[in-house]
Structure 1
Amino acid sequence: MSSGTASSPVKLRPEILALPAYRQGQAAPSGFKLSSNENPFDPLPGVLEAVDAATRTLHRYPNAAAPEVTARIAAEWGVEPDEVILAAGSVALLVQLTLAAAGPGDEVVYSWRSFEVYPWMTVLPSAVKVAVPNTPDHRHDLDAMAAAITERTRLVLVCTPNNPTSAIVTAAEFESFMQKVPADVLVILDEAYAEFVTDPTAVNGRTLVRRYPNLVILRTFSKAYGLAGLRIGYGIGPAEVFAAARIAAMPLSLTDHAQVAAIASLDRGDELRARVADIAARRDAIYDFLVEQGWTTIPRPHGNFVWYPTGEHTERALGIFRDHGIIARAYLPDGVRLTIGEEESVENVLAASAQIMREIA
């Protein structure tokens, strides 16, 4: 008797079949696509030229060791090259680190709602998901997360600013949290949106380098640097942990195009910071307008996106945004995430937000 599925005679893992596939933000044939937390600016000067040059060697495999980017990041963070790990986006690193740290029956602790990759990457090695509810103001409950750690816990994920709620973890909160985490449990500080943070109380991975032998800090070039289409992210942490994570890597997935684009972007630090400041200022202005409209339950945003806790009205809110030419991202049944996009999108965003407030209040 076959134990396949109704759609396939092949035996497949039921826990994988039960997972929802990662769902990319919808495209916008017209209007504004604010569903994927993309940078609205074109690539920084020099990036397209570097990528074009790399295209001429498409018949060759990429240099999997990425020595130039690794050396550059190591120098900027003040670490050794073996304390840097690169992959095709920070999501790839999350998967590699999970596979390296957790196996069947081991536990992975994370806040929820948070980055939607966390649940399914936990299932890949047949580990156990331990989702700790966010606080009522949509932040990580680090005390509850620390209390959820058991002898079976192998990995804890802290996302700040949290995707999709845009709330931060403060430096003091993280310091207190790390004192409670056993030294043999790996902690990942997922800082994909760190460049957009302007709150001086926020935790910053750069101040934590080598502080904890069980801490990995993740960053990406997809958001602030605007290289989402090339997929490159990096981690800073213990060399021993990264040696194991490299074993779990998909071979040759980090392209030369991504590597040269990252170097060209790092060469344009001043321009990058100006763009990030522009987006952060637009974010703060939108938030202030939303509060004036009556959105008092929206957490103050610190990423390049805003969280609307629309609850049971989420589908209706998504439709109203669409009616105003805005493609947002729904996280049913909790709320809507809206990326900070072009200046031209702000009027539409505010008009849609006002209508949503009138209809659901």
Structure 2
Amino acid sequence: MNVRFAERGALGEMSAYRVTESDGAPDSPSVAFDLSSNELALPPLPAALAVLREGLSRLARYPDPTARALTEEIAAHLRLTADRVAVGPGSAGVLQQILLALCGEGDEVVYAWPGFDAYPLLVAVSGAAGVQVPLTSSGDHDLAGIRAAVGARTKVVILCSPHNPTGTVIERARLHRFLRSLPDHVVAVLDEAYVEFDRGGDPPGRPQVLRAHGNTVVLRTFSKAYGLAGLRVGYAAGPRQVIAAVRKTALPFGVTHLAERAAILSLHSGAELRARLRTVTAAREELTLEIGKLGLPVLRSRANFVWLPVPSAAESLARAAAAAGVKVRACPGYGVRISVGEAEAHRRLLEAFGATDRGNWF
């Protein structure tokens, strides 16, 4: 029996997230080091590890569907009321909740490109159409171009700072001018998945954009600086009306008890967090310097990765890295993103790049 059905909207044109990468999975024999997903090359913070061991006996029980304890802790951390915070399975999961809550068929979501490679799929899942605005030649958001792309059908604008994959930051004055220019029907989502690497920590206090702009939602994660990528926990902070809608689109029991407890304890481990951020930042600067010595262009990053704007050599450099047992992220036609990792991974990578044909770099 033949069953015929049509996928909704633009989904028919999409592939599942990274479905083609199974051959290069971290446990593949050919991959000794995975520098493709911006994971922290360090374990979770000590307090989080301790609670994970203790919490294994509760795996037969459902978690709190509202993750109330974590929501209240984040709210206190940001000096907000709890009704302005929503938590979910990673910042990507919370972004999906935001888009499902605010968008539908016929709507548009504007964002810079290249960008986080899940954006197009998450937008399509919501039923909206994505409008991609190219980055500038320096790897920055073209805020004028993004503003020009905003129209009557635009419901959401996504800004990522530090930007994935380039590591650039939207400076404060430019960001505030842009947010003030948006029409009332548009919500700006400021994706700050990597903000701790830029600030050298995550000091408490309401993000300035929330204080100054009622149309903005700040999106953050425990996956990157806090080293909890495998637990899937992130959050959004923003206007009460938006957050109330975002909570309605949450997957039931989407944040596990283990993730909730580990995230809470991570928030209270500021000194340990700052120490590991100094380690990552030093490794990032050293990697940037060594790549530059090879003659390759590399942007100054403010995240836990570096970006090589080599549009014609992205795939060949990724293959050279893979041959040395190091997986990196190639963005064909744009460049290569390399996560900050172990010293041995950097050594192998630099040797592989140094042995490639430089005539193919540009």
Secondary structure in 2 aligned to 1:20?
coil
Aligned counterparts of 1:69 and 1:155: Cα–Cα separation in 2: 26
Contact 2:10-2:129 at 8 Å conserved across structures: no
One-letter amino acid matched to 1:104: E
Decide whether the 8 Å contact of 1:86 with 1:232 is kept in 2.
Answer: yes
- Change over 3 Å in CA distance of 1:288–1:205 after alignment to 2: farther
Q: Which residue of 2 aligns with 1:238?
A: 239
Q: Deviations over 1:265-305 (max 9, x none)?
A: 12221111110111011111211222222223x22111111
Q: What is the one-letter code of the residue matched to 1:291?
A: G
Identity %: 38
**CA–CA distance in 2 between the matches of 1:291 and 1:313?**
15
Corresponding residue number in structure 1 for 2:17: 22
- Hey, what's the Cα distance between the residues in 1 that align with 2:169 and 2:291? 19
Structure 1 distance, partners of 2:261, 2:300, is 35
Q: Residue in 2 aligned with 1:178? A: 179
Deviation at 1:86, TM superposition (A): 0.4
SS across alignment from 2:177: helix
2:7 equivalent in structure 1: 12
Cα distance in 1 for residues equivalent to 2:122 and 2:38: 21
C-alpha contact (below 8 Å) 2:80/2:206 kept by paired residues? no
Distance 1:14 1:184, change over 3 A: closer
The alpha carbon displacement at 1:10 in A equals: 4.1
Greater mean alpha carbon deviation, residues 309-318 or residues 237-246: 309-318
Give the equivalent residue in structure 1 for 2:56. 55
The 1-side partners of 2:357 and 2:231 are apart by 38
- Say which SS state the counterpart of residue 208 (structure 1) adopts: helix
SS at match of 1:218: strand
Q: Deviations over 1:162-182 (max 9, x none)?
A: 111211111111011112111
Measure the CA separation in 2 of the matches of 1:75 and 1:240: 19
Amino acid at match of 2:42: F
Residue 56 of structure 1 aligns to a residue in which SS?
Answer: helix
2:267 is matched by which residue type in structure 1?
L
Please, which runs of 5 or more residues in structure 2 have no aligned partner?
none
1:308 aligns with 2:308: yes
Distance 1:83 1:220, change over 3 A: same
2:307 is paired with a residue whose SS is strand
Quick check: 1:261 aligned with 2:256?
A: no
Q: Which amino acid aligns with 1:105?
A: G
Measured in 1, the distance between the counterparts of 2:9 and 2:124 equals 11
CA RMSD after TM alignment: 2.0
CA contact (8 A) 1:310 1:317 kept: no
Match of 2:344 in 1: 344
The alignment's TM-score, normalised by the length of structure 1, stands at: 0.92
TM superposition shift of 1:68: 1.7
Partner of 1:288: 289
When residues 37 and 357 of structure 1 are mapped into structure 2, their CA distance, relative to the original with a 3 A threshold, is farther
CA distance in 1, matches of 2:210, 2:179: 14
Paired position in structure 1 for 2:135: 134
Q: Write out per-residue CA displacement over residues 226-274 of structure 1, whole angstroms, 9 at most, x where no aligned residue.
A: 0000000011111110110111111111100100111121222111111
Give the distance between the partners of 2:126 and 2:283, measured in 1 at CA. Answer: 41
Q: Alignment partner of 2:251: what SS?
A: coil
Structure 1 counterpart of 2:190:
189
Change (3 A) 1:267 1:357: farther
Q: 2:131 & 2:179 partners in 1: Cα distance?
A: 18
Going from structure 1 to structure 2, the CA distance change for 1:112 and 1:294 (only over 3 Å counts) comes to same
Work out whether residues 194 and 224 of structure 2, in 8 Å CA contact, stay in contact via their aligned partners in 1.
Answer: yes
Q: Distance in 1 between matches of 2:5 and 2:64?
A: 36
Tell me the residue number matched to 1:120: 121
Instruction: Give the C-alpha shift of residue 123 in structure 1.
Output: 1.3
- Name the counterpart of 1:360: 360
User: What amino acid maps onto 2:255 in structure 1?
Assistant: L
Q: 1:172 to 1:353 in 2, by over 3 A?
A: farther
CA 1:232/1:165 → structure 2, altered by over 3 Å: closer, same or farther? same
Tell me, in whole angstroms, the C-alpha distance in 1 between the residues paired with 2:182 and 2:329: 33
Structure 1 position 71, deviation (Å): 1.5
- Residue 14 and residue 129 in structure 1: after superposition, are their counterparts in 2 closer, same or farther (change >3 A)? closer
Q: Which residue of 2 aligns with 1:213?
A: 214
User: Which amino acid counterpart does residue 321 of structure 1 have in structure 2?
Assistant: A
In the alignment, is the contact (CA less than 8 A) between 1:210 and 1:237 conserved in 2? no
1:20 alignment partner AA: S
C-alpha contact (below 8 Å) 1:183/1:213 kept by paired residues: no
- For residues 252 and 264 of structure 1, the distance between their equivalents in structure 2, rounded to whole angstroms, comes to 20
Q: Matches of 1:41 and 1:357 in 2, distance apart?
A: 33
1 CA distance for matches of 2:87 and 2:331?
Answer: 29
- In the TM superposition, residue 357 of structure 1 has moved relative to its aligned partner by 6.6
Select between 283-292 and 223-232 the one with higher mean Cα deviation.
283-292
Going from structure 1 to structure 2, the CA distance change for 1:356 and 1:305 (only over 3 Å counts) comes to farther
Structure 1 position 226 matched with structure 2 position 227: yes
Larger CA deviation: 70-79 vs 228-237: 70-79
Contact 2:72/2:82, CA 8 A, preserved across alignment: yes
CA distance in 2, matches of 1:71, 1:14: 37
Distance, in Å, in 1 between the alignment partners of 2:224 and 2:35 is 13
The answer to whether the 8 A contact 2:79-2:206 is kept is: no
Distance 1:337 1:26 in 2: 17
Distance across 2 between alignment mates of 1:11 and 1:180: 39
What is the deviation of 1:17? 2.5
Structure 1 stretches lacking a partner, 5+ long: none
